[in-house]
Chain A
């Protein structure tokens, strides 16, 4: 392919049957990979079904009807991987499926791409069905697994507090719907109505396919030609707009739980969409405030005040949110909040140095360059680009990033609004019971 090292591109191969096919040009990896994404609006009616579908698909297909048969086959294919999952980005759900396997150079003469693609397609097109729905026993197992999974989000206290903060903050907006749907939503599903949504997914959700690694043209053509042999003449429109909401009043919520460490989550509205010219200034802003070990939050909350092991800020790119998170002693809560808000204020006032902005830019540039060393990272990057139709390549993005000035950062800093303060509070009655 002769691409310059470090230059990664996605070449549009075809638009066929309502699916856009891309080939990622990068041949340094030891694996080949095919990714397929279906995209849907995040809505209550379909969120849980969209989350359940990949779990059912993964259970096998007409040719390999059980976990044992399917997994044995994958082992034969040098530990090939076929997986499906759902991811929430902004107010969209991405239902993703992928297969990956070691490149033919490393097998004993076997050529794996065609076989792995056929297996993925078999699973996608011929899931196990009966009585006009998904196979009932399998459906029930996976629906129960989904409910267990939704309930288990409480197990990881850091993730739980983040989810709760976002839920409270975006109450009444689609964004409040969890990426895996809700328990109530899951319990309303039946083998039949889930199959119906699956049919909608394969025939009308916008779809994108990516091929990466060392795959010959013939196999790629075969993949495109054999893809989803059904009519996709009517691909629906999805809403990629970033919904912004003005904050009227700051919301405060404390939730008690039997935990040792309190988790503070502060949710902000950035009012910056991923396609706006303020987007790169926003990314730099976040880097200076809480993105890395040079950031204000890390230095002031952790290193200076010794209040926390972690103190960081993260952006939700599509929805225009920023969340500051820190794990602290309950008694230090007011102090931590004060220090954090002081850093946010300092950003508004331009109280940061040229060195700070340079460090943030360099660290972001490193991230963009490193992303190109991960096959899944590259796919994820281009998927986002294609969805927002930004059409920008990595080099021009790095250029934009590096042209951000202190004034730009101050400008976006002044747009940032605190919305919700959530605190997962250790319950004093906590006792450890150990036998």
Chain B
């Protein structure tokens, strides 16, 4: 559970330049430039040049994750519902090509390929130091060309089955998904990303193609790259390699999630040394684009103020030995859902939870002081700047921000517009919502 850290204050002077076939946006404050390019299919490409870096990375992602399980396949009239875990299954399968496994091919070039599936994204990427161009071509090529057979789909069930078994033994994962099950009545964010042994048994080649044809389409995807190379290299390779045609706007459906909790409490027993808890609240207000970023940043500040390491609450719980160093808090806000979550090890989760609930009500009514607000904002700003040391984080941030309809530097700009009044308004809207508690107890 890593807190969202995309926050920054003042002095962002955005310079735009659109003389060439790509657009550039420069942040003097951050000493970074984003190059932006749109392919004729509607596929967008974002690039940051990191001078002096050996490591190079590129990501090819689709706005499609575990929550997208009801949708219309292009050319068909009715919506279909697909088994849990299918987005993740498809992610595994795309690595398999008619002439061999892509994981193997990338690593023969000395690069590290990987992919992940989250609630709302599936992202394929690699990192390398040499032969970026070959690697990049391979990435763009295989993601456009699925090769599924009945046989290779069956084979993957063994591997993914073991991945699912691994998560079953992971107490941090379990306590988190049990919390989501408490928070959400109907929304598919509560479902396991990899599905279950039972749900993946229903997955077949045809269903996988339905998912692929619906979501792997240029206008629903994005390419990001970070390297120390001429920008033109990135864009001309994209031009040459992108062959697929857009299949139109994705039509997907989510259930209407009620404001109430599904349940207040869930317990599971696992082989752990002491109880582990996750506690959370839903944010029932939906926002998009810049508003979403603003709301997310405000909630992060509120949450840090309430229970961050500099808070009275943290000091109290820590000195009473109700929490230890494992305690974390995080805001997760997206277009379709939003929640605040915190937790760690505790000898007495119920007592800890009740103290925290009391403090949250207090914070909602008293609000945050301008001094505390500016101090926490400053620290979040530092965390964001720090994160720009990593090529992977920059590539990921560009991808994330594109899918919610903003840009990399908006994550900075948003903090210029924040003030204590806004933060206190959002705090009132969210912190008074009922909280749920999930506990994993030792056997």
Contacts and interface: CB of A to CB of B under 8 A. Distances in A.
A310 to B, nearest CB: 8
Contact of A30 (B318, B389, B443): B389
A149 B326 CA distance: 9
Contact of A152 (B160, B272, B375): B272
Interface string B43-58: 0000000111111000
Interface of A: 5-6, 26-31, 55, 66-68, 71-72, 74-80, 100-102, 105-106, 108, 141, 144-145, 148-149, 151-158, 257-261, 292-294, 298-299, 302-303, 306-310, 327-329, 355, 358-359, 361-363, 365-366, 369-370, 372-375, 432-435
A358 B29 CA distance: 43
B109 interface: yes
29 contacts: A27-B52, A31-B385, A67-B309, A68-B314, A78-B385, A106-B382, A149-B324, A151-B273, A152-B345, A153-B273, A154-B273, A258-B443, A260-B165, A261-B165, A261-B168, A293-B107, A294-B108, A298-B103, A303-B101, A303-B159, A306-B156, A308-B159, A310-B166, A327-B165, A362-B130, A363-B110, A366-B128, A373-B55, A434-B268
The 4 A-B residue pairs whose C-beta atoms are closest, nearest first, are: A362-B110, A306-B158, A78-B382, A79-B382
A366 to B, nearest CB: 5
A418 to B, nearest CB: 24
Contacts of B242: none
Interface string B244-288: 000000000000000000000111111111101000000000000
B274 to A, nearest CB: 6
Nearest to A326: B162
A370 B268 contact: no
A30, A141, A152 — most chain B CB neighbours (10 Å): A30
Interface of B: 10, 29-31, 50-55, 101, 103-104, 106-113, 127-130, 155-160, 162-163, 165-166, 168-172, 178, 228, 265-274, 276, 308-312, 314-315, 318-319, 321, 324-326, 345, 375-376, 378-383, 385-386, 388-391, 443
A158 B168 CA distance: 13
Contacts of A101: 382
Contact of A258 (B130, B270, B325, B391): B270
B211 to A, nearest CB: 21
A29 B391 CA distance: 11
A309 B110 contact: no
A26 B382 CA distance: 20
A27 B31 CA distance: 13
B155 A68 contact: no
A260 B273 contact: no
A149 B381 CA distance: 31
B272 A306 contact: no
B375 A76 contact: yes
Contacts of B267: 433-435
Given A106-B385, A306-B156, A257 B271 contact: yes
A30 B385 contact: yes
Contact of A78 (B156, B171, B379): B379
Given A102-B386, A148-B274, A75 B112 contact: no
B54 A294 contact: no
A318 to B, nearest CB: 25
A294 B268 contact: no
A79 B380 CA distance: 7
A369 B55 contact: yes
Nearest to B32: A30
B309 to A, nearest CB: 4
A373 B165 contact: no
B168 A79 contact: no
A366 B162 contact: no
Given A261-B162, A261-B166, A30 B127 contact: no
A76, A151, A299, A309 interface centre (most CB from chain B within 10 Å): A309
Given A79-B383, A366-B112, A292 B378 contact: no
